[in-house]
Amino acid sequence: MSETPPQPPRIESVRELLLKELGKLLMVEETLARSILPKLEQETQDEQLKQAFGEHLEQTRQHVQQVQAAFAELGAEPAGQDAKGLEGLKQEREAVVAELAPAFHDGFNASAAMGAEHYEIASYEAAIRLADALGEQGIATLLRATLEQEVQALEKLAPHATRLAVQGVKEPAVR
């Protein structure tokens, strides 16, 4: 007879839900800063995209501190949570890259990074709504500033993804 795994504690308040959302954001930002963005920057051949990844890496390190500050403002210890959405995006990227001709890696990586930005944007929007609902205006303001940087990062990646896709059409890896 197999034992059922222990169930996580039930979330009973909006504050607990905000802390869970902040924990997810912390894990996302830490994972991006620690492993994903450095890997993308290192693997990228296109100099403009490499620079964009490097700039966003520096910004992401600041985002880690901003999420930690939101925890502090709530009087809670920063605690990362599972970020299954990011993990899924990461696994999908790795699977597709394994199938791609190297000439298409940069363009695909730009598009995959845009997917991660969309995930972050949705997560920040959710956390802002919860902070607003709780009257935590300081946290909401902090998160809005970070959200704006995520939107700007997405807007910076889009032209690279488009340019590299068009380049791939004009210069296919295999004719």
pLDDT of residue 174: 53
Contact 108, 89 (CB under 8 A): no
Summarised one tens digit per residue, pLDDT across range 22-60 is: 999 999 999 999 999 999 999 999 999 999 999 999 999
CA dist 46 and 59 (Å) reads: 20
Report the CATH superfamily, name and number, of domain 14-76+83-170. Ferritin, core subunit, four-helix bundle (1.20.1260.10)
- Taking the C-alpha atoms of residue 106 and residue 47, their distance in angstroms, rounded to an integer, is 10
Q: Where are the domains of the chain?
A: 14-76+83-170
Q: Taking the model in full, what pTM does it have?
A: 0.89
